[in-house]
Amino acid sequence: MKNRILLLVLLVLLAILAKAQLVTITPPSATIAPGGSVTLTASGALYYTWSPATGLSTTTDSVTVASPRVTTTYTCSGYATGAESVVNGDFSQGNTGFTSDYQYNSNLWNEGTYYVDYDASLHHENFFGQGHGNNGNFMIVNGSTTPQTNVWTEQISVIPDTYYAFSTWVCTLAGQANEVALLQFSINDNQIGEVFSAPPERYVWEQFYELWYSGNSTTATITILNQNTVGSGNDFGLDDISFCALVVVGEPECTVYVGNMSATAAADDTELCDGESTTLHALPVDGSGHYAYNWSPANTLDDPTAQHPLATPSVGTTTYTCQITDVDLNNTQEVTVELTVHPNAVKHIEKAICAYETYDFYGEVLDSTGQYEHHRPTQFNCDSLIILDLTVYPANDTLLVDPSICFGDTYNFHGRIYDQDGQIDYFDTIDHHGCLKVEKLVLSVDEYQMPPIHYQYECYPHGTSPSWYWDKTGETYHEDVYDEVILDDPTGGCPIRHRLELKFHEEFYQEDSVSSCSEFYWPITGETYHESQYGITRTFQRSFGDVECDSTYVLNLTINNFEPHPKEIHPLDYANTAPHWVIPATEFQINFYDFSLEDINPNSVWDSVTWSFVDSVQWILAPSGDKKEKCRVYVLNYVEDTVWLEAHVHNSCAPEEGVAQRYWLVCSFYGLEEDGVSASALFDVYPNPNNGQMTLNIEGLTGKIDIKVYDMKGNLIDNIQTFNGLGAKSLLYNINRHTDGIYFFVATGREGTVAKKVVIGR
């Protein structure tokens, strides 16, 4: 459809061109000397033929060189393309109007296939491109690997002895520069033009164009072959295939005259003043004597066809050309003459004088403001007008000079120094016009300038150091301050006393970590939270002077919904699940065992564990671990056979008394049995706790007394032996060389063995 529209427009244009004869030859005629030549240039058509061929360098180009031996008239026939002969050259009708040895398939992955559509990427993911001018369908081709395979063929009826123009547009859809299609175009099995290489860049359309002369042919079979048979790349598009007859759109003529005439041109005056005239002269020689004249430009001549016209050119340089024609010999020659016209000059002068002065203007004495004129000839004897604009300045009034200076400064008035308020003086000087004026000094002396106090309020983040820079002093302040500085006034006034009152305020910051069982109400935000969150932040603005400072509250919240459920207490020595300790009859032996507590729920969070015995037992418990989940039991003295060890697990979600778990120990002892006598009555240590110096009360023991001292690990660190036959009451003892901690004193006498736990701290 688009080619049909273009064809209709072209036919209309051809009709207009044929009627208007827009084909032209430059120059339209020429005169040369015998043996000379002239270049003739035709324009306004696509193709050209010249006749007769005699004396021409070429007969088929737009430009030819004519060298005739006699005067010759040449005709140039200009051609343009006529009606379109290709049926479906723009593929707007789809896959019709032509034949191809390629396979028609919308899937273009195989070589030797083609398809007609508007976008190549729809049929191969590596193809890229749309129709010529991004408009309508085109032929999308995956190049064949088989040589001499026809891509496109159409047979067209032609007129014998007629020139035809064949053209098509080609683009590359995929492939590198060495993989592009190599297209061969032929008509009636005869190649036209050179093999055409598709563009090396993708989606760049280039045109193949060639002329073909039909001769005796009445049909033209047009064939397009791709001579590139590589499988990689070699993918291209065809569009706007055209085959049109050439029609004559103009046949202008040009006569080249060959003769011996020569000519010159002259003028009475070649330099004039504006508005003057002169006579031009055309002077042919060695011709027939029968001449015709044509001068240009004609608008400044009285008769452009006269041999001697009167010229009145405008200001500037004008070149007059005269075309002299030898009518009898049909010989024409051009001659020129150049005239220069000078302007009548106008000069403006501006002058100024003071009151009571005069100005000499070419002998005329002037003393008033106004405009004056004077005429004189220029160097070319043209009129020169000189215009004077004279200004007379009025007399000056006395100029009052009333400067202000600061206290302690001085003022220089034309070399004289003044420093007192109200001083007056006079000085004669020259104004900017160069006229006399009188200056009167009236001096004022001022004090310091005192702007308002600069109140500066500065907030600074919590935990940082305050800092504020004052550009007046160039100092940085880190605490509240009152300061002042005297600086020069940048506008030239008196010095300025700048005063600063600086106050800092640290912004409030509070971070709290809270644990709660099921929910927590935070009054800062007024919200109730049901899940653990960290970094809940609320910032308030507090007024401080003329600024707003931040007050920030941060909450790290842990919501613990797990009540502890102790699993069991078990001894770390799994081989001895029912410990058994023995106390010999003559010596007490300290034993210790380690226990640990676990929870059924691994997500439980314990705050702490409290270890205790259900009954009153004199053994020692030593908890350990981050939450006291472990405990060491020190066996010190006689107990019943069964002892219950109990652990209470605490967290914020547990009952107030915690959640308990028990473990029972079976104990068997033999030796001395206590007879109900209080252990403290037999043996005691005081003070308890102490700093390492203590008194051992042995009043209840008699005979040979053996006192052993053990640390918490059961190590024997001292053995004290004494005899109490007279009922001595006490014994002084010092444990200076040992560290602070819990120690066990085990005393043995006639009455039996007793133990005492003693706490020592420096």
- Higher pLDDT: 409 or 249? It is 249
Four-point Cα dihedral 474, 476, 479, 480, nearest 10: 30
Q: What is the pLDDT of residues 201-225, one digit of tens each?
A: 888 999 988 889 999 999 999 999 9
Q: What is the pTM of this model?
A: 0.35
Residue 682 in contact with residue 751, Cβ under 8 Å?
A: yes
What band does 230 get if pLDDT is binned at 50, 70 and 90? confident
Q: Provide the pLDDT for residue 656.
A: 66
Q: Provide the pLDDT for residue 336.
A: 93
What band does 304 get if pLDDT is binned at 50, 70 and 90? very high
Q: Tell me: do 122 and 208 sit in the same domain.
A: yes
What band does 4 get if pLDDT is binned at 50, 70 and 90? very low
Residue 483 in contact with residue 473, Cβ under 8 Å?
A: yes
**70-75-80 Cα angle (round to 5):** 155
Percent of the chain with pLDDT over 90: 28
In the listed set 35, 66, 83, which residue is the last one of a domain according to the structure?
83
Residues 6+ apart with CB under 8 A from 61: 48
- pLDDT mean over 420-443: 82
Beta bridge partners of 661: 647
Compute φ and ψ for 132, nearest 5 degrees.
Answer: -60, 125
Cα gap 536→513, rounded to integer Å: 10
Q: Tell me: do 180 and 278 sit in the same domain.
A: no
In the listed set 49, 67, 83, which residue is the last one of a domain according to the structure?
83
Q: Which of 113-117, 432-436, 572-576 tops mean pLDDT?
A: 113-117
**Does the pLDDT value for residue 135 go beyond 50?**
yes
Cα gap 327→71, rounded to integer Å: 13
Cα gap 333→285, rounded to integer Å: 11
Q: Tell me: do 383 and 403 sit in the same domain.
A: no
Q: Provide the pLDDT for residue 5.
A: 39
Q: Which run of H or of E encompasses 337?
A: strand 331-342
545 lies in a domain?
yes
Residue 10 in contact with residue 46, Cβ under 8 Å?
A: no
Alpha carbon 127 to its chain's center: 33
Residue 114 in contact with residue 102, Cβ under 8 Å?
A: yes
Q: Tell me: do 336 and 367 sit in the same domain.
A: no
604 lies in a domain?
yes
Burial 45-65 (b: 16+ CB within 10 A, else e): bebbbbeeeebbeeeeebebe
Cα gap 434→229, rounded to integer Å: 95
Q: Provide the pLDDT for residue 215.
A: 93
CATH of the domain at 584: 2.60.40
- Which single residue is written with the structure tokens 């308030």? 540
Give the total number of structural domains in the chain: 9
- Higher pLDDT: 164 or 602? It is 164
**Residue type, position 749, single letter:** G
Q: Tell me: do 380 and 420 sit in the same domain.
A: no
Q: Provide the pLDDT for residue 18.
A: 42
**Residue type, position 390, single letter:** L
CA distances from 625 to 558, 630, 632, 633, 714 (A): 22, 6, 11, 15, 20
* Token representation of residue 457: 């309020």
Three-state DSSP string of 515-555: EECCCEEECCCCEEECCCEEEEEEEEEEEECCEEEEEEEEE
Compute φ and ψ for 351, nearest 5 degrees.
Answer: -135, 155
Cα gap 596→574, rounded to integer Å: 11
Q: Tell me: do 89 and 232 sit in the same domain.
A: yes
- Higher pLDDT: 42 or 590? It is 42
Residue 591 in contact with residue 667, Cβ under 8 Å?
A: no
- One DSSP character per residue, 216-255 reads T-SEEEEEEEE----SSS-EEEEEEEEEEEEEEEE--EEE
- pLDDT mean over 143-170: 92
Q: Provide the pLDDT for residue 580.
A: 43
Q: Provide the pLDDT for residue 99.
A: 94
Q: Which of 314-323, 538-547, 628-637 tops mean pLDDT?
A: 314-323
Q: Which of 382, 385, 383, 384 is nearest to 272 (CA)?
A: 382
CATH of the domain at 743: 2.60.40.3080
Q: Tell me: do 418 and 532 sit in the same domain.
A: no
Helical residues (DSSP H) of 563-711, grouped into ranges: 679-682
Beta bridge partners of 705: 722
Q: Tell me: do 502 and 525 sit in the same domain.
A: no
249 lies in a domain?
no
Cα gap 474→325, rounded to integer Å: 95
Q: Tell me: do 301 and 417 sit in the same domain.
A: no
Q: Tell me: do 216 and 235 sit in the same domain.
A: yes
What band does 373 get if pLDDT is binned at 50, 70 and 90? confident
Radius of gyration of the chain (CA): 63
What band does 452 get if pLDDT is binned at 50, 70 and 90? confident
Q: Provide the pLDDT for residue 709.
A: 86
**Does the pLDDT value for residue 603 go beyond 80?**
no
- pLDDT mean over 740-751: 82
Residue 351 in contact with residue 368, Cβ under 8 Å?
A: no
What band does 670 get if pLDDT is binned at 50, 70 and 90? very low
**Does the pLDDT value for residue 620 go beyond 80?**
no
673 lies in a domain?
no
Q: Provide the pLDDT for residue 123.
A: 92
Q: Hey, is 597 helix, strand or coil?
A: strand
**Does the pLDDT value for residue 307 go beyond 50?**
yes
Cα gap 62→103, rounded to integer Å: 44
**Does the pLDDT value for residue 678 go beyond 60?**
no
**Does the pLDDT value for residue 355 go beyond 80?**
yes
Residue 288 burial (10 A CB sphere; 0-12, 13-18, 19+): middle
- Higher pLDDT: 292 or 346? It is 292
Query: Which is it for the CA torsion 365, 368, 373, 377, positive or negative?
Result: positive
Q: Tell me: do 404 and 388 sit in the same domain.
A: no
- Higher pLDDT: 183 or 13? It is 183
485 lies in a domain?
yes
Cα gap 108→123, rounded to integer Å: 6
Residues 6+ apart with CB under 8 A from 266: 280, 281, 283, 337
Cα gap 448→497, rounded to integer Å: 7
640 lies in a domain?
yes
Q: Provide the pLDDT for residue 1.
A: 37
Residue 681 in contact with residue 752, Cβ under 8 Å?
A: no
Beta bridge partners of 73: 255
Query: Which is it for the CA torsion 631, 632, 633, 634, positive or negative?
Result: negative
What band does 10 get if pLDDT is binned at 50, 70 and 90? very low
- pLDDT mean over 101-108: 94
- Region of poorest pLDDT, from 37-41, 58-62, 308-312: 58-62
Cα gap 232→350, rounded to integer Å: 85
- pLDDT mean over 466-495: 87
Cα gap 680→671, rounded to integer Å: 20
Q: What is the pLDDT of residues 489-527, one digit of tens each?
A: 888 777 888 888 989 888 888 888 887 777 889 888 889
- Higher pLDDT: 111 or 668? It is 111
**Residue type, position 6, single letter:** L
Percent of the chain with pLDDT over 70: 87
In the listed set 358, 378, 393, which residue is the last one of a domain according to the structure?
393
For residue 470, give its domain range: 454-506
Q: Provide the pLDDT for residue 8.
A: 38
Cα gap 211→246, rounded to integer Å: 9
Q: Which of 115-124, 492-501, 577-586, 744-753 tops mean pLDDT?
A: 115-124
Residue 440 in contact with residue 400, Cβ under 8 Å?
A: yes
Q: Tell me: do 118 and 239 sit in the same domain.
A: yes
The verdict on whether omega for the bond into residue 461 sits within 30 degrees of 0, i.e. cis, is: no
Residues 6+ apart with CB under 8 A from 573: 593, 594
592 lies in a domain?
yes
pLDDT, the chain, mean: 82
What band does 679 get if pLDDT is binned at 50, 70 and 90? low
The verdict on whether omega for the bond into residue 297 sits within 30 degrees of 0, i.e. cis, is: yes
**Does the pLDDT value for residue 339 go beyond 50?**
yes
Helix, strand, coil percentages for the chain (3-state, nearest 5): 5, 55, 45
674 lies in a domain?
no
- pLDDT mean over 516-543: 86
Helical residues (DSSP H) of 636-702, grouped into ranges: 679-682
Residue 754 in contact with residue 737, Cβ under 8 Å?
A: no
Cα gap 210→520, rounded to integer Å: 92
- Which single residue is written with the structure tokens 């001579």? 227
Q: Provide the pLDDT for residue 11.
A: 41
Residue 495 in contact with residue 408, Cβ under 8 Å?
A: no
